[in-house]
Structure 1
Amino acid sequence: MSSAATPPSFSTAEVAQRLGVSAPTVQRWVDQGYIKAWKTVGGHRRIDAASVESFLASQQLQAVARPAGKTPARPGPSVLVVDDNPDDRDLLSAVVEATLPDAAIQVVENGFQALVAIGQVTPDILLTDVVMPHMNGLEMLRELRQARTPGPRAIVVVTSLGPERLAALGGLPAGVGLVHKPVAPDGLAAALRACLEPPKINE
């Protein structure tokens, strides 16, 4: 009797390119059981193709595109909002809409969905919470730095954590804006407007 056919599979690098994330990110998802994989006799990791497509579909289905306001004459900035709390997502999105009326907003509920969304289309601004299940916001930002695709133009972290707790989680990356919860709309609006300011050039 012939052995069962090997199911279609990809290498780690191929999956990383397919999802627009880094190879270490793919390996992490495999280790955590989100994507199925096995090793060949030669010790090479192969990743189940159906598992990859299922994972990608599940993350994309939960990402919601929210174009804000009327269709602008000139395309506005794209903003990705990442927060596992639906009330906080609504608040953050509302402030973005009020501050940047011509922005196109996409909301997702965790770091996994954010990495997949950014791997497909990089937003101009990433607005993210820190405390989220499975992968916190700072872990997501570190994974993003290793990704194959360019990162967002600007990143703003929104959190209720204090400096010591943020430091314990690895600290904020350089150049990342910080807004504390509970969110003051005026403070978040100022941070969003700062994201669109041209970089200062030292004379």
Structure 2
Amino acid sequence: MPKTNPSSGFEETSDYSTLEVARRLGMAVRSVQLMVDRGELEAWKTPGGHRRIARSSVDAWLSRRGVPATEAQNVQQPLVRSLSRRPRLLLIEDSVHYQNLIAMLLGQQFPELEVHMAADGIVGLAMYGQLQPEFLLVDILLPGIDGATLITSLRSQPQFAGSRLIVITSLDAAQREPYAFALQDVPVVHKPRLVMDLPVLLREQLSMEAKA
């Protein structure tokens, strides 16, 4: 739970507002608030009731996930995609089996892609903000936040317009109904058909990206 006063020893001038953390991590403000509520980030409140988040806890959160703090500081800067680098694909999937299967497929059929992975929704949001990938593969059932909530959060960010999204899921059409609010007009791959359908969809996406 966030601390209710600055007696913890944090100096307000060295800490962040919730909005500043959201910009630094490339997340929605609500996602940062959830991280504070879960105790993933350490926070306190000023006498005026404004929440401040300890800079050290943000740096520690990034460090635990292998992200250099200096790299994350550039998230809020507009990204100019370099023509010299390979297109980036971010896979957000918690199953090691499907991580390995998709990595194998991509390595065999799409060697031109630079592939990155996240195993839960919160980390996926942070990595999206840092990487600004051209392609995004998202599972629906994820720890942290579910894929539909993650997609909704990403859509609130202007840079998401530059990414192409494919959803991968073990849920059948009926089981996906509660998540329909986020899946409209999004291509969905049912995991039992992943090997057959994902390469076809991804080639279509690559073709559209090349023409854009």
Q: Same fold (TM over 0.5)?
A: yes
Distance 1:27 1:148, change over 3 A: farther
Structure 1 residue 164: Cα displacement:
2.8
Whether the aligned pair in 2 keeps the contact of 1:122 and 1:151 (CA below 8 Å) is no
Structure 1 residue 152: Cα displacement:
5.0
In the alignment of these two chains, the number of paired residues is 187
Per-residue CA deviations over 1:4-42 (Å, capped at 9, x if unaligned) read 743431111111111111222211211222111121111
Q: Which residue, 23, 44, 47 being the options, matches 2:29?
A: 23
1:6 aligns with 2:16: no
> Aligned partner of 2:66: which letter?
Q
The structure showing larger relative contact order (alpha-carbon pairs under 8 Å, at least 6 residues apart) is 1
> Aligned partner of 1:10: which letter?
Y
- Unaligned residue ranges in structure 2 (runs of 5+): 1-6, 68-82
Q: Identity across aligned pairs (percent)?
A: 31
Q: State how 1:147-162 maps to structure 2 within 5 Å.
A: 147=157, 149-151=159-161, 153-162=163-172
TM-score (norm 1): 0.82
Following the alignment from structure 2 to structure 1, what is the Cα–Cα distance between the partners of residues 115 and 41? 28
Structure 1 or 2: larger helix share? 2
- Unaligned residue ranges in structure 1 (runs of 5+): 62-72
Quote the residue 2:99 is aligned against.
89
Quote the residue 2:123 is aligned against.
113
Whether the aligned pair in 1 keeps the contact of 2:165 and 2:187 (CA below 8 Å) is yes
Per-residue CA deviations over 1:131-180 (Å, capped at 9, x if unaligned) read 12221111211121223643552111111112232221354433321000
TM-score (norm 2): 0.78
Following the alignment from structure 1 to structure 2, what is the Cα–Cα distance between the partners of residues 162 and 4? 49
Following the alignment from structure 1 to structure 2, what is the Cα–Cα distance between the partners of residues 11 and 121? 23
1:124 aligns with 2:134: yes
> Aligned partner of 1:110: which letter?
D
Quote the residue 2:43 is aligned against.
37
Structure 1 residue 74: Cα displacement:
6.4
Quote the residue 2:191 is aligned against.
181
Runs of 4+ in 1 over 3 A off after TM superposition: 3-8, 73-76, 147-152, 169-175
Structure 1 residue 117: Cα displacement:
0.8
Structure 1 or 2: larger strand share? 1
Q: Which residue, 53, 56, 67 being the options, matches 2:62?
A: 56
Following the alignment from structure 2 to structure 1, what is the Cα–Cα distance between the partners of residues 20 and 62? 14
Whether the aligned pair in 2 keeps the contact of 1:158 and 1:181 (CA below 8 Å) is yes
Residue 198 of structure 1 aligns to a residue whose secondary structure is helix
Distance 1:148 1:34, change over 3 A: farther
